[in-house]
């Protein structure tokens, strides 16, 4: 058992470092071909922080662990919304841009609703390859929307998170990409293999482990990026990272996983998605009550408390 747990942590480490290497390498290759930094930030970096979730969920889907595939994403989104956003707003109240965050919040609500619909729209409760293609199309649309909005705002600045800011030569950048992909592949395989073994030995459902421990661990890049941005006073980046991750997790990751292998959706997830949907709506409402256009420390405390109660409920289900 202890050996399995050690392997799981090694897998998480490979996922996080692999994502870092991939972002470093891809960003530098893009720079060599004179791709604007704003586009790099909104595509490579945004997707890069979601790579751990992508590798775990897609690997789980291919190997037939549907609960782990979808549970990781739902749990990650719940952790991003309630815990990471809550912690960031406790550190420093988060100021919202009136239009941008509202529109992206509405997109997040739409993404959550479409996931709920796809999971419940057939007798077999399968998220099909066709559903996956629709989700991937939405992901492409969201990327194009971000690029369009960035070009409209000439003052937009996107700092590339997960890189040290140093330019590296093209060959080294390609090596970084290869190392990143290999680390992500091995890390994803290791996590899926040993989490399923631990779940079996403990008699705990894959859903519970995936929606809590695995989801929180794969959310560490978002946690580190958002907390770091908040401490530096870059609250727009913190909010954007969280909202963007929410949307990419559903559109890109579940979409990719479903295209690779149709995902069996358990109706038990309706409760978890309902919690996520309520939280997303609260996130959209909070900036317009009390101190307007701010996610206050009090709001953050409420979110962290909700996440704590949610985890307690998950633990109760184990027993």
CATH number at residue 216: 1.20.1420.30
| Domain enclosing residue 234, as ranges | 2-318
| Contact indicator for 19, 51 with CB cutoff of 8 Å | yes
Please give the tally of structural domains in the chain.
Answer: 1
Q: Please, how many CA atoms are within 13 Å of residue 183, restricted to the half-sphere of its CB?
A: 21
**Strand spans (E) along 107-174:** 126-127
Q: Give the pLDDT of residue 163.
A: 47
| Contact indicator for 46, 175 with CB cutoff of 8 Å | no
Q: What is the pLDDT of residues 259-282, one digit of tens each?
A: 999 999 988 899 999 999 999 998
Confidence of residue 75 (pLDDT cuts 50, 70, 90): very high
Highest mean pLDDT range out of 21-25, 36-40, 132-136?
132-136
Average pLDDT, the chain: 83
CB burial of residue 147 (10 Å; 0-12, 13-18, 19+): middle
Q: What is the pLDDT of residues 294-311, one digit of tens each?
A: 888 999 999 999 999 999
């Amino acid at each position: 058992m202890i050996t399995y747990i050690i392997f799981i942590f090694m897998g998480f480490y490979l996922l996080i470092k692999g994502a870092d290497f991939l972002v470093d390498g891809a960003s530098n290759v893009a720079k060599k071909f004179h791709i604007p930094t704003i586009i790099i930030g909104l595509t490579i970096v945004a997707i890069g922080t979601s790579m751990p979730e992508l590798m775990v969920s897609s690997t789980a889907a291919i190997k037939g662990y549907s609960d782990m595939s979808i549970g990781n994403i739902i749990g990650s989104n719940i952790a991003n919304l309630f815990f990471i956003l809550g912690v960031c707003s406790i550190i420093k109240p988060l100021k919202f841009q009136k239009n941008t965050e509202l529109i992206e919040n509405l997109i997040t609500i739409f993404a959550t609703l479409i996931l709920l619909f796809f999971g419940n729209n057939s007798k077999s409760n399968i998220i099909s390859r066709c559903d996956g293609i629709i989700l991937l199309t939405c992901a492409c649309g969201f990327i194009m929307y971000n690029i369009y909005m960035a070009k409209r705002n000439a003052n937009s600045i996107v700092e590339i998170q997960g890189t040290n800011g140093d330019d590296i030569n093209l060959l080294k950048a390609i090596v970084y990409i290869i190392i990143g992909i290999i680390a992500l592949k091995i890390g994803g395989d290791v996590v899926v293999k040993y989490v399923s073994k631990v779940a079996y030995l403990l008699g705990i459902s894959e859903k519970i482990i995936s929606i809590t421990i695995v989801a929180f661990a794969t959310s560490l890049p978002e946690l580190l990026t958002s907390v770091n941005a908040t401490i530096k006073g870059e609250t727009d980046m913190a909010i954007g990272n969280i909202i963007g991750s929410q949307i990419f997790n559903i559109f890109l990751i579940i979409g990719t996983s479903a295209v690779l292998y149709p995902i069996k959706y358990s109706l038990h997830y309706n409760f978890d998605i309902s919690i996520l949907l309520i939280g997303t709506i609260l996130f959209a409402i909070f900036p317009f009550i009390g101190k307007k256009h701010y996610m206050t420390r009090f709001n953050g405390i409420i979110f962290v408390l909700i996440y704590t109660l949610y985890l307690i409920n998950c633990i109760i289900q184990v027993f």
